[in-house]
Structure 1
């Protein structure tokens, strides 16, 4: 048996944060959803059953939480900072797929949200 690909993920984690181009958004804040899919070699952990052989999703959550609480005008900046912190902390990360959704964006549309989605490859 050969492992072709593997991921650690967080799905629709909710945060209240202070991002936006408009001053009012940065003052009152808004609700955001973050989904994260991290390509990571989990083969060793599959056999060992030891958390130290994998990427702990609680640690990923803490990184997301820390970066999303830093106010920014653009979600692109928030997403970049999250990916940068993760790949610096865990060089074994192969890829990061990140989606940040702003619930109820101030644009007069009836929608579930708007945001940014990106995929980075961690070139070694």
Structure 2
């Protein structure tokens, strides 16, 4: 087994409960870690024997482009889609951060972290 991590996937999106967040958007950062079997690809040196991180990045970017009020909701969509499209993934740890959130204070980011295992 092994892990593949994508750190600090940067996107601009329109998530949030406030009307202004839907209009003007905000910067987000996503961290993704998946567990999968890396033994075959470590021997074969073939992309077809592993989880392609280009596909993982594409899923994150596409799901982040769909507006949600809550970070938890977009996180759930990302996890569900990865499990659906990549059966070789057995565990996902996902962090979604809203940078400079409009919460009336000097806060760098608000982050939700979700961990799910394949059923």
Same fold (TM over 0.5): yes
Q: Does 1:69 align with 2:65?
A: yes
Q: Does 1:118 align with 2:114?
A: yes
Q: Does 1:28 align with 2:4?
A: no
Could you list the runs of 5+ residues in structure 1 that have no partner in the other structure? Answer: none
Partner of 1:15: 11
RMSD of Structure 2 on Structure 1 (CA) = 0.7
Could you list the runs of 5+ residues in structure 2 that have no partner in the other structure? Answer: none
Partners of 2:36 and 2:64 lie apart in 1 by: 22
Show structure 1 runs of 4+ deviating over 2 A.
none
What secondary structure sits across from 2:92 in the alignment? strand
TM-score by length of 2: 0.97
Range moving further from structure 2, 103-112 or 64-73: 103-112
What secondary structure sits across from 1:82 in the alignment? helix
Partner of 2:43: 47
The size of the alignment, in residue pairs, is 119
Partners of 2:63 and 2:74 lie apart in 1 by: 7
Partner of 1:80: 76
Q: How far does the alpha carbon of each residue in 1:33-54 deviate from its partner, in whole angstroms, 9 at most, with x for none? A: 0000001111100000000000
